[in-house]
Amino acid sequence: MEQAMLELTPPSLENTPPVLRAVFRQFTRKRPFYVTEPKIQDRETCACMEHENVHLLANKLYNRGVLKTKSISELLGMIVLTPKIEPAWIALVSKVDHLETESSTQVTWEQWKRVTSTNGEKTFSNVANQTQTGTIKDLMELFHQKLEALAVHQFNWLHQAEQFRLLKQNITEYEAVLHIDFSENYACKLSTEIQSFHFGGSRQQATIHTAVLYTVHGTRFYATLSDCLRHDERAVWAHLEPILKELRETFPQITTLHILSDGPVTQYRNKNNKNN
């Protein structure tokens, strides 16, 4: 549960005798051990753009009294059916249950978008959190559109997760499953650094490529470290080479390798990987 300490204080003190009640400062000092302050590592830095955009719209509509819930799981529960191998996979609704409101009221909301900028002859593509303005009607139409698109996205994710689970459960003696992904680049630090190194651009970085190997004999975990910051298909195979070498030496009977990864075209999903 994520809630501010100031919001937790009144309910916690309602049933407390006046003699034992404490001010907010004392309440924060004597808080239970499981009530912790947010830390920098608690930030969500790998959120999905599709989910987060719908989340921002749902929060705005909920705060305006239009939606009765801001839970993405509940909203998708109205749309996404349990994945089954049958013709009717997805049921889309034309509208979400909401309260009556003035559709011409002006509101602002935020959305993550890809922004293209030009500097001379070079074109750059960046991601930015932009503020948009429109009416409640415009916001509802955008919400319906993105929620339906998210339903397809959610179903694909659920279906892929189910197939991945079945693949691991039904693996044979002659098969192996390798799940791979790049970790973020890590900045290398020293216990003692001079000022120009600490604040300058001399700090080195390292790339970590993670992998999990599933066989009938168990699960193995790998992490390869490199000072090369490339994440293209050549770097992928450089990280995979020692893992595949050990796989051939340890399990020579394996003839089929299933490789699972996410979908960046610059890393895994491109024609160069298919030709290797």
* Contacts by residues 59-65 (CB-CB < 8 Å, ≥ 24 positions apart): 60/107, 60/109, 60/139, 61/98, 61/139, 61/140, 61/143, 64/101, 64/105, 64/107, 64/136, 65/99, 65/101
Write down which residue in 119, 139, 160 finishes a domain. Answer: 160
Average pLDDT of span 54-64: 90
Q: For residue 15, what pLDDT is reported?
A: 66
Q: For residue 1, what pLDDT is reported?
A: 55
Residue 276: which pLDDT band, with cuts at 50, 70 and 90? low
Same domain, 185 and 83: no
Same domain, 27 and 115: no
- Domain total of the chain: 3
Residue 94: which pLDDT band, with cuts at 50, 70 and 90? very low
Same domain, 120 and 27: no
Average pLDDT of span 237-262: 94
Residue 238: which pLDDT band, with cuts at 50, 70 and 90? very high
Same domain, 185 and 216: yes
Judge whether 166 lies within some domain: no
Residue 111 or residue 200, greater confidence: 111
Same domain, 177 and 196: yes
Average pLDDT of span 39-61: 85
Residue 197: which pLDDT band, with cuts at 50, 70 and 90? confident
Tell whether pTM > 0.85: no
Q: For residue 53, what pLDDT is reported?
A: 93
Q: For residue 22, what pLDDT is reported?
A: 64
Write down which residue in 105, 136, 160 finishes a domain. Answer: 160
Same domain, 202 and 140: no
Residue 79: which pLDDT band, with cuts at 50, 70 and 90? low
Judge whether 165 lies within some domain: no
Write down which residue in 130, 160, 190 finishes a domain. Answer: 160
Residue 164: which pLDDT band, with cuts at 50, 70 and 90? very high
Q: What is the mean pLDDT of the chain?
A: 82
Q: Which two tokens stand for residue 74?
A: 């509940």
Same domain, 12 and 54: no
Average pLDDT of span 219-233: 93
Contact of 180 with 231, CB cutoff 8 Å? no
Q: For residue 89, what pLDDT is reported?
A: 37
Q: For residue 92, what pLDDT is reported?
A: 38
Q: For residue 137, what pLDDT is reported?
A: 86
Same domain, 74 and 151: yes
Same domain, 59 and 123: yes
Same domain, 118 and 34: no
pLDDT tens digits along 143-154: 989 988 888 888
Judge whether 212 lies within some domain: yes
Judge whether 55 lies within some domain: yes
Residue 237 or residue 124, greater confidence: 237
Same domain, 85 and 146: yes
Residue 7 or residue 215, greater confidence: 215
Same domain, 149 and 97: yes
| Domain assignment of residue 19, given as a range | 5-42
Residue 257: which pLDDT band, with cuts at 50, 70 and 90? very high
Average pLDDT of span 178-189: 90
Torsion over CA: 35, 38, 39, 41 (sign): positive
Q: Does position 248 have pLDDT exceeding 60, yes or no?
A: yes
Residue 270 or residue 276, greater confidence: 270
Q: For residue 255, what pLDDT is reported?
A: 94
